[in-house]
Amino acid sequence: MKLYNYFRSSASFRVRIALELKGLAYTYVPVHLARGEHREAPYAALAPEQLVPLLELDDGTRLSQSMAIIEFLDETHPAPPLLPAEPRARARVRALAQIVACEIHPLNNLRVLKYLNRELGVSEDAKNTWYRHWVRLGLEAFERQLAAQPATRYCAGDAPTLADCLLVPQIFNARRFDCDLGGLPRTMAAFDACMALDAFQRAQPSACPDFEA
C-alpha cells in the first residue's frame, strides 16, 4: 500500500495511527500541502478532491477521506478492532470521532485558515482566535460525551478505537495553536494513554520522513 499524506495533516495522522495499530506496512508518499503540491500534477490526477490522505491499495484502488479509509482498514484487517462489535457502543465511538471530523476539523483545516487570511483579510491574531474558539468548543463537547460514560483508559474502552485515532491528531494541532486544554480531564487522559503506545509514537508528525520543525 501507498499512503499519500502530509506530516502535519491531522487527517493523514489519523490514517497513520490506524495503519500502525494494525501493524500494516505501507509506503509513505509525502504531499506537501503548504507548498500546494496537492493541487499539482501528478498528485491532482490521482486524487479527485485534491486533498490528503489518499491510500492506494496493492491492486491500484485509491481510497480517500480518512474515516472511510480507517473503516475500510478495520473491515479488511479486523484485528485489533477499531470499532466495537455492539451497535450502541459502535455508534458512540463514531459520534466521538465525528465531533472531531465534522465539528472541529472542517472549520480549522489549512485551506480554511488560508482563505481567512488571503481572501477575507483576517489578521493572524484573529485567525488564531477563530481556530482556538472552534477547537475549544468541540473538545468541550467531546469531554461531555466521555463524562457521560463509565471511565475507561482510552476514549471508549481498554484499547484504542476510531475515536482515539481522531482525537490524538486534534490535540497535537490544538497544542500547536496554543489552545486552552484545561478542564478536559477525560479527554487528556485518553490522549496521554494513547501517546504511551508505540503505534501512536511511530505515527506522529516528528516521526515522518518529511517532517519539518
| Structure confidence at residue 127 (pLDDT) | 96
Mean pLDDT of 198-212: 97
CB atoms inside a 10 Å sphere around CB 155: 29
Grid look-up 470521532 returns 97
Cell of 168: 490524538
Average pLDDT over residues 98-126: 96
Structure confidence at residue 152 (pLDDT) = 97
What the block records as the C-alpha cell of 13 is 495522522
pLDDT tens per residue, range 152-200? 999 999 999 999 999 999 999 999 999 999 999 999 999 999 999 999 9
CA dihedral 30, 9, 21, 67 (to 10 degrees): -110
pLDDT for residue 86: 97
Looking at residue 213, its pLDDT comes to 81
Domains and CATH numbers, the chain: 2-80+200-207 (3.40.30.10), 87-197 (1.20.1050.10)
Q: What does the pLDDT look like over 2-53, one tens digit per residue? A: 999 999 999 999 999 999 999 999 999 999 999 999 999 999 999 999 999 9
Among residues 57, 67, 70, 76, the alpha carbon closest in space to that of 4 is found at 57
**pLDDT 10s digits, 52-91:** 999 999 999 999 999 999 999 999 999 999 999 999 999 9
